[in-house]
Amino acid sequence: MAVNIPGIIAIVVFYLMVLGTGIWASFKAKREQKKSGAKEMEMAVLGNRSISLVLGVFTMTASWVGGGYILGTAEMAYNSSMGFIFTFTMIMSYFTTFILCGLLFAKPMREINVSPC
């Protein structure tokens, strides 16, 4: 089996470009953090940007439930044997979990400064 030299060169160049972009972005983020006075976590998570409540809710939902849940819910709603009742019950279960976690755990975790990572 022959080694594909142009392919290896292309892969090496690609990885070097990705590495260079990462190093450049790191320096740029550090400069922006010093300019804005943002905390390290704000820079890592939000890039020193604010997000709206709606976008935050959708992001949190997508992070918690994942694509499998979303596709499964759509399939359950379409399937006539399971129907809307099971789908509604599952959605309300997740909704209740979000509310309870927010009410019970968010404030204590913020008070003791628990890192999400």
Number of structural domains the chain divides into:
2
Same domain (yes/no): 24, 63: no
pLDDT at 65 over 90: no
Q: Mean pLDDT in the chain?
A: 79
Closest CA to 74 of 86, 63, 57: 86
Same domain (yes/no): 41, 87: no
Q: Where are the beta strands (DSSP E) in the chain?
A: none
Same domain (yes/no): 115, 67: yes
Confidence at 46, pLDDT banded by 50, 70, 90? low
User: Could you list the residue range(s) of the whole structural domain that residue 9 is in?
Assistant: 1-46
pTM above 0.75, yes or no: no
Same domain (yes/no): 38, 83: no
SS3 (DSSP) at 96: helix
What pLDDT score does 73 carry?
Answer: 77
Same domain (yes/no): 27, 78: no
Same domain (yes/no): 91, 41: no
pLDDT digits (tens, 9 = 90+) for 3-35: 899 999 999 999 999 999 999 988 887 787 777
Same domain (yes/no): 102, 79: yes
What pLDDT score does 49 carry?
Answer: 65
